[in-house]
Amino acid sequence: MRWTKTHLFTLKEAPSDAEIVSHQLLVRGGFIKKVAPGIYTYGNLALRAIRKFEAIVREELDRRGCTEILMPMVQPRELWEETGRWSKMGDGLLKFQNRNGHWHCLGATHEEAVTDYVRSDVKSYRDLPKTIYQIQIKYRDEIRPRFGLMRGREFIMKDAYSFDLDAESALKTYQLMYEAYQAIFDRLGLIYRIVQADAGPIGGSQTHEFQLLAEAGEDALLVSDSSDFAANVEICPAIDAEPQRAGGATPVGATPVGAFSVGGEGATGLSPDENLQPLSPFATPGLKTIADLAKATGLPERELVKTLFFSANEGLDPKDKSLQPIAVLLRGSDEVNLVKLKNLLQLANPPRMLTEEEVRQTAGAGPGSCGPVGLKIPIYMDTGVQGLKNYIVGANQEGFHLRHVNHERDYKPTQIVDLRVAREGDRDPQGPGRLRACRGIEVGHVFYLGTTYSQKMNACYLDREGKARPLEMGCYGIGVSRTVQAAIEQSHDQDGIIWPVALAPFEVHLCALDMGDPGVKSLTEKLEQELEARGVGVLVDDRDERPGVKFKDADLLGFPVRLNIGRKGLEAGVIEVIVRRGRQVRKVKPDEVIPVTEKLLRDLKQSETRSETRRGGGRETL
């Protein structure tokens, strides 16, 4: 394709709202242009990358017997009422009335639509299993769209849905799709990890995320340094690496007398023989934070206990104004994991913290002075607190704390459960190793759903005995547009994008430096035609621009191989062949350019798709 014949304009500066480098490069390279927050037009180059990725996805799914269909983006309310998600999905599901006053939404996901599609056809066990997929535009009304295609409102997604006879067969299908996803992401020439994850509002009991590793990724991951274990921090079990050094609660101002727990697997706490001391309040005027208290008491934050308050209301129904407060106890050094809390409370979305006023109503004192003793609401204690004895908590009286507090004796936790955020250095839950932290961009997600949707939507089949049974389902998503941007986030340098061959909009960037020169012109035409005929996509920069401008743009757009054809080079009998990754320059005779280019592309592709590289070093298995 000729640059001057297409619509392609590069920019020197990225817009101020492009916070991460991949977003900046997409805009500067003319790949995307913003229409509204989270809503973009894809230029020709972005579309080419997307289509290449879609072709890979189709190939791997079709090969495994999946059937492609296309469901509508506009869906009637009635479908979503069947599963209760019309309200449960919250404001991310964009709803509107059409001209006839009927409520519809824009498809944010298609479990309801696909189950409806399948239920009227599938009658018997003989019709199963089936896996159906589509590649389609989705809309989610993100409250704060950002990072370009990474968290957009309108985006392109591949979503697949499987229907099986029973759980055993459904888990086989899950494994098959897991392998399909490995095959897809192995082909991209990018580094990714497969991690355990939260099922979110989709529901379901088994789920893995496919995460492209990148510093700017929105997801914090923890991966084992010695086993296959990898998890999104949202659900990663938190197990202290070292037995806890707990001092018990000593009087304010006194030197803490430490004691070391004996420390079993992940256990924390004091030595079992420490005596429980009598509960007593003490004045802590002006001490509002854990840091204040640690400073005043001389105790480390991890030996103090903090009490947080949340609303267990679903929060989605604006009419439900009643408050259902709960308390969470954590060590002062720990952070509450809202996803763990959400799942514990069986909510669709993470619960909100109570306001200062609501805390006061609930506990009798403000957030700086409250604690579990005397509370009449459910108290969820993080396992990190379990081993502490004689500790300090707020007294539920303004400006006072209690010391020598002990659970069971002074208050009864409703449940002791892992509610804190795991962190780098924590113990690998599946082996003797430690967790290390990295960041990822979620590009794929597989879920085993069970019969959550089929039961609600009465999607059944008759088994061999003629008995109606609900379909066993799974669902499997790939963020198509997001993956294309994530590839850039992982693969770029200071001058621009470095496309892996598998996703490159064009494989070859041909800089024709003197198109006025007949030799340059005819060789350019010849190479363009011959490469295209061999299935190699070529962008010819035939603009009337200085070489420096063309080279800068070539680096920005980042196609794998660049050819510089100029009058001077041709006089010397050479063309420059430059691989974008590393920018090594080869001087090649004109009649060797095609075999050299093809070999370079082959070699690049091969090195990019070595799966031991792709899967982030450690082979991930189910």
**Residues making contact with a copy of itself (CB under 8 A):** 5-7, 9, 30, 33, 35-36, 39-44, 46-47, 50, 65, 67-76, 79, 91-92, 94-96, 98-100, 102, 104, 106, 113, 116-118, 120-121, 130, 132, 137, 139, 141, 143, 153-154
CB of 561 to a copy of itself, least distance (A): 23
**Position 229: which residue type?**
F
Task: Compute the least distance from the CB of residue 264 to a copy of itself, in Å.
Answer: 48
Sign of the C-alpha dihedral computed for residues 278, 283, 288 and 291 taken in this order: negative
Looking at beta carbons, which pairs linking 272-276 to residues 24 or more positions away fall under 8 Å?
A: 274/248, 274/389, 274/390, 276/389, 276/390, 276/404, 276/406, 276/409
User: CB of 329 within 8 A of CB of 381?
Assistant: yes
Rounded CA separation 274/369 (Å): 26
CA distance linking residue 80 with residue 77, whole number of Å: 5
| Shorter beta-carbon distance to a copy of itself: residue 61 or 213 | 61
Minimum CB separation of residue 6 from a copy of itself in Å reads 5
Please state, in angstroms and as integers, the Cα–Cα distance from residue 10 to each residue in 1, 496, 537, following that order: 16, 12, 20
Report the alpha-carbon distance of residue 239 to residue 418 in Å, rounded: 9
54 touches 135 (CB < 8 A): yes
Name which of 90 and 399 has its Cβ closer to a copy of itself.
90
Report the residue number, 43 or 372, with the smaller CB distance to a copy of itself. 43
Beta strands in 486-533 (DSSP E): 492-493, 496-497, 508-512
Query: CA–CA distance from 296 to each of 51, 288, 311 (Å)?
Result: 61, 11, 31
To the nearest whole angstrom, how small is the minimum distance from the Cβ of residue 365 to a copy of itself? Answer: 36
Burial bucket for residue 145 (CB in 10 Å: 0-12, 13-18, 19+): buried
Task: Name residues whose C-beta falls within 8 Å of residue 81's C-beta, 6 or more positions apart in sequence.
Answer: none
Least distance in Å: CB of 445 to a copy of itself?
22
Q: Which is nearer to a copy of itself, 99 or 376 (CB)?
A: 99
Query: For the packed helices 480-490 and 44-63, what is the interaxial angle rounded to 10 degrees?
Result: 110
CB of 20 to a copy of itself, least distance (A): 21
Closest contact distance (angstroms) between CB of 74 and a copy of itself is: 5
Nearest residue (CB) to a copy of itself, 6 versus 522: 6
Nearest distance, CB of residue 517 and a copy of itself, angstroms: 20
Q: How far is the CB of 159 from a copy of itself (least distance, A)?
A: 13
**Which of 408, 269, 418 has the alpha carbon at shortest distance from 343?**
418
CA atoms lying within 13 Å on the CB side of residue 405:
26
438 backbone dihedrals φ, ψ, rounded to 5°: -150, 175
100 or 322: CB nearest a copy of itself: 100
Query: Using CA atoms, how far apart are residues 254 and 251, in angstroms rounded to an integer?
Result: 5
Q: What is the largest CA-CA distance in the chain?
A: 97
CA distances from 24 to 21, 149, 288, 559 (A): 5, 11, 42, 17
CB of 331 to a copy of itself, least distance (A): 37
Nearer to a copy of itself, 101 or 285 (CB): 101
Residue type, 75: Q
Rounded to the nearest whole angstrom, what is the least distance from the CB of residue 68 to a copy of itself in the complex? 6
- The residue (of 356 and 532) whose beta carbon lies closer to a copy of itself is 532
CB of 546 to a copy of itself, least distance (A): 16
**Pairing label, strands 435-450, 219-224:** antiparallel
| Rounded Cα gap, residues 559 and 541, in angstroms | 12
Token output for 203: 């529901």
Closest to a copy of itself by CB, 153 vs 306, is: 153
Q: Looking at beta carbons only, is 36 or 257 nearer to a copy of itself? A: 36
| Residue whose CB is less far from a copy of itself, 131 or 362 | 131
- C-alpha distance from residue 387 to each of 89, 215, 263, 416 (Å): 38, 36, 10, 11
- Least distance to a copy of itself from the beta carbon of 519, Å? 25
Straight-line distance from the first to the last Cα atom of the chain, in angstroms, rounded to the nearest whole number = 44
Residue with Cβ nearer a copy of itself (61 or 379): 61
* Closest by Cα among 523, 493, 496, 529 to 511: 523
Q: Which is nearer to a copy of itself, 77 or 605 (CB)?
A: 77
